[in-house]
Homo-oligomer: A and B are copies of this chain.
């Protein structure tokens, strides 16, 4: 695996190999296998959880992790992303974790990346966030035994969610029986991606028989004019509360990629309740990203040799 741009970078065998590596990392941490390798977190959007998880994953593997955030970067002097990338490559950086508001930005970098330089897409516009989908699927597998044959609801602001798109692709690849997409009209994904997808116009109807439900945050920063019910009205119609969750039963698991808006898309009692896997997702997210990094980089010589 040279890059991880979207789920199309993977196949089911490579995903299972990543999950197996993740299992090993949880059992025993290797002593700094990537020491001497340099990684950059190149973030053009605000982030805490993803940036910290990637930084921590990189450091635990022994890498030198350098943060570059757009606010204080040469982007303000007019340099293009590609030129910034080439410059950082020239310095010997071997791994780039890129978050960017533009769809396709990590793909652009991958196209011009030299041998031995790797890109992890940490979220590009509404397109993809593949490490989030990997950690979600890993979490589901831990909780449900396997993803294959399961029925998963994804609900809320699907249209503006790169997480939803990556999850649909990955759950499909792993053999989910049915992926149910529940959202208001203004938040439906268009065009609809391929897969065993069923759309729902309300959340209640989507719940019965679900093995897990993934709730999504309203991406306020991506919606200019809101054509959706506001505040309490949204929560009444689309929020996952205990009563709604009960429609799926006590074994149905609850996921959320975070950050969570309590009382908007999900009730606190559900988020903090026994069916929630939300903190498991975060916990496994560090290990899954370490597995991806090792997969990409462990066969290589360290970057502190001249290239």
Interface hits, A255-298 → B, CB 8 Å: 258-262, 279-280, 282-283, 285-287
B-contact 0/1 string along A234-267, CB 8 Å cutoff: 0000000000000000000000001111100000
Q: Is the CB of B72 within 8 A of A259?
A: no
Number of copies: 3
- Does A224 have its Cβ within 8 Å of any Cβ on chain B? no
Let me know if B279 and A60 touch, CB within 8 A: no
Residues of chain B contacted by A27 (CB below 8 angstroms):
306
In the assembled complex, the CB of A112 is this many whole angstroms from the nearest CB of chain B, namely: 10
Q: Which residue of B lies closest to A50 (CB)?
A: B74
Q: Are A52 and B68 in contact (CB under 8 A)?
A: yes
Q: List 13 A-B contacts (CB under 8 A).
A: A29-B304, A40-B52, A46-B73, A46-B74, A46-B77, A48-B74, A56-B66, A56-B93, A78-B261, A79-B261, A80-B262, A91-B282, A91-B283
Question: B48 and A84: CB pair below 8 A?
Answer: yes
CA distance A71 to B73 in the complex (A): 13
Q: Is A87 interfacial (CB-CB < 8 Å)?
A: yes
| Given known A-B contacts A59-B64, A64-B56, A283-B92, A49 and B258 have beta carbons under 8 A apart | no
Docked Cα-Cα span, A29 to B306, in Å, equals: 9
Q: CB-CB < 8 A to A220: which residues of B?
A: 77-78
> If the complex has contacts A47-B74, A261-B78, are A286 and B68 also in contact, measured as CB distance less than 8 A?
no
